Chains A and B, each alone.
Chain A
Amino acid sequence: GESVGLHLPTLSVQEGDNSIINCAYSNSASDYFIWYKQESGKGPQFIIDIRSNMDKRQGQRVTVLLNKTVKHLSLQIAATQPGDSAVYFCAEGSNYQLIWGAGTKLIIKP
């Protein structure tokens, strides 16, 4: 079936550096992509989303890039901070449903 997956299960980044979390998707008909952050013991929290008619969208310290040619999605976090430590999920959306990837754990090194 269609799926969304992540390249790396764990990413370790020095505090202050930029983080890049990658995601591959397989359903070329998906028109909506979203990144969530989940801290330990909490529910997922919306970070940023992007529609398929865009290739880049920026938020506060975060940027999502969408490459439809290779079906690739990435989340860039600028100047990574200790509070960014979490598991990050990408998901693709269509027909009210979000199909979630397995998640990437982001670890911040002091």
Chain B
Amino acid sequence: NAGVTQTPKFQVLKTGQSMTLQCAQDMNHNSMYWYRQDPGMGLRLIYYSASEGTTDKGEVPNGYNVSRLNKREFSLRLESAAPSQTSVYFCASSDIGRGADTQYFGPGTRLTVL
């Protein structure tokens, strides 16, 4: 099992450009999450999907959109990137109800917006 995979690993954008971060998990988890982590900070939840077909806002959703494409995949889109969105983005998944709200994380995408 690969666990949680994210693409790309690194990305540099200019202000105003758009891009989609991809995430996939092969653990048959119901729930998936997108976080951002700024230097020296904890993670902040952007959006989550409790189950296939549903998405909900987290703590910092402004400037982002998400799509739960199927049970495996959960993408994050920046429509018009801003320098304030420079961060490391982590995708995670969990299987609610099996003794774990434990979230399993991908390796992250390091995004720089110039």
Contact = CB atoms under 8 A, between A and B. Distances in A.
Nearest to B44: A100
Secondary structure of the A contact surface, majority rule: strand
Interface stretch (B64-72, B78-86, B103-111): B103-111
A100 B103 CA distance: 12
A42 B100 CA distance: 21
A96 B4 CA distance: 18
Interface residues of B, number: 25
Interface in A17-66: 32, 34, 42-46, 49
Interface residues of A, number: 19
Given A32-B101, A34-B102, A101 B42 contact: yes
8 contacts: A32-B101, A34-B101, A44-B43, A44-B90, A89-B43, A93-B101, A98-B45, A98-B101
Interface of A: 32, 34, 42-46, 49, 89, 91, 93, 96-103
